[in-house]
Amino acid sequence: MSNGKSDANPGLTSQEIADQASRPDRDQIRRQPLRGDETKGDPDERDVAGAIDHEDTPHGWEERKHQVSEEAERNDG
C-alpha cells in the first residue's frame, strides 16, 4: 500500500474505501428514525413492534398447561 492503493481492492485508495465504508446505505438511513432514541439502550431489545407475550406463544401455552396441572395436583393432594 505504498501508493495508497488497497491490496484487497487495487482500484481504490485506502481513503476511498474508508469513505465508502462510513457512508450509510439507504436501508440504514430509512431505519434510523424508526429505531428511536438510541441513548435508551439497545434498539433491538426495545423493539416490540409485532411482538407477543411469551404466554401467548405455543411454547408458553405448553408451559402454562403444565403449571395448571401441577397446581391442580397440589390442590387435590
Q: How confident is the model over 5-22, as pLDDT tens digits?
A: 545 556 888 888 777 777
Task: Indicate whether 45 belongs to any domain.
Answer: no
Contacts of 34 (CB under 8 A, 6+ apart): none
Q: Does 44 or 1 have the greater pLDDT score? A: 44
Question: Grid cell 500500500 — which residue?
Answer: 1
pTM for the full model? 0.33
Closest CA to 24 of 11, 35, 13, 8: 35
Task: Indicate whether 41 belongs to any domain.
Answer: no
Looking at every residue in the chain, the average pLDDT score rounds to 76
The predicted structure's pLDDT at residue 77: 66
Task: Indicate whether 25 belongs to any domain.
Answer: yes
Query: Could you list the residue range(s) of the whole structural domain that residue 20 is in?
Result: 1-35
Q: Give the chain's domain count.
A: 1
